[in-house]
Amino acid sequence: MKLRAHSVSLFEVGPRDGLQSQTRVLSLDDREELIVRLIKSGVKHVEVGSFVRDDRVPQLAGTQELLSRLEKRRKSLKKYAPKFWAFVPNMRGLENALATTVDGVAFFVAASDTFCRKNVNRKQDEIIAELELLIPIARKAKMDVRVYLSTITHCPYEGAVAPQKVLNLVNKLVSFGVKEIALGDTTGHATPFQIDKLLKSLLKKHKPTLFAMHLHDTRALALANVSAALNLGVRRFDSSVGGLGGCPYAPGAAGNLATEDLLYMLQAENLLKEKISLAEVVATSKWLEPKLGAALPSKVLKTLHP
């Protein structure tokens, strides 16, 4: 599919997916500052937290208060037109989200039943049954909705995942009213050839606008996988500032695709829809490193700040 200038969008997951696996827990002040820095750099869609129990993921504790703080700053950030998102694992989480002014919610299911149980302690069919209830509620509340569909080619517990499993889940999610499904290469095993094969299978029935890609860079193939998806019409990609991340339920999985690395590639080809300052994102990563007490893995960050 022909690529048009300014057609590709970025979805920033660092403040949620990126922070959840970090050893050091940031204060609410630092998490708020991180989000505001990203917005001021030009990032529009930011996943700011998660409505899970604070004791389950202490790195994301206080999401409700964080959203209250961000709402107070929304007027001063109006020119950036930010969209705040949060991860919602169940009905209780959605009820808490509905009590805030969050713009969008993200749900989860995996193509692997074992990974579903490891991640949220529920079977795949139980998650699907609840999503059938949750998604219409969120849509009726005029929230934007996306679903993370994880382990699209490989599960750390079950091994290779057949494309038909992914297609069956996509069909169900679409029947629930989902308009965006983020396909997750959770362990970073996927190659461009596997992404090509999977997407061609899905695109026989669904339009590429249904899909976003959530790629991990465990084997340094994330950008190659972006290229494969771009060639088949996908135009939305998740990324994480500095390459923060790694899934706590996927042994050996490294960080997400770094926002800086994705920005560099998309801006070099004049593809990015949003006007995002690469220099400001890099500066945010440099600000974040001492807060976390560790160097971040972004390749562009290392190039600009060796």
Q: In the chain, which residues have pLDDT < 50?
A: none
- CATH number for the domain formed by residue range(s) 9-304: 3.20.20.70
Residue-level pLDDT at 253: 57
Distances (CA, A) of 135 to 68, 160, 190, 206: 23, 29, 29, 19
Phi and psi at residue 155, in whole multiples of 5°? Answer: -115, 135
pLDDT at 120: 87
pLDDT of the residue at 21: 87
Q: How confident is the model over 171-209, as pLDDT tens digits? A: 999 999 999 999 999 999 999 999 999 999 999 999 999
pLDDT at position 2 is: 84
Residue 248: per-residue pLDDT: 59
Phi, psi of 166 (to 5 degrees): -65, -45
Under 8 Å between Cβ of 39 and 46: yes
Question: Which long-range contacts link 136-142 to residues 24+ away (Cβ below 8 Å)?
Answer: 136/176, 136/177, 137/94, 137/98, 138/88, 138/94, 138/97, 138/105, 139/177, 141/98
pTM of the model: 0.96
The pLDDT assigned to 8 comes to: 98
Give the list of residues 6+ apart from residue 19 with CB closer than 8 angstroms, or none: 26, 31, 59, 60, 244
CB 28 within 8 Å of CB 42 = no
The domain limits of the chain are 9-304
d(CA 274, CA 87): 23
Whole-number pLDDT of residue 20: 93
Catalytic residue at 247? yes
Pairing between β-strand 154-155 and β-strand 83-87 as defined by DSSP bridges: unpaired
pLDDT tens per residue, range 31-47: 999 999 999 999 999 99
Catalytic residue among 134, 147, 247, 258: 247
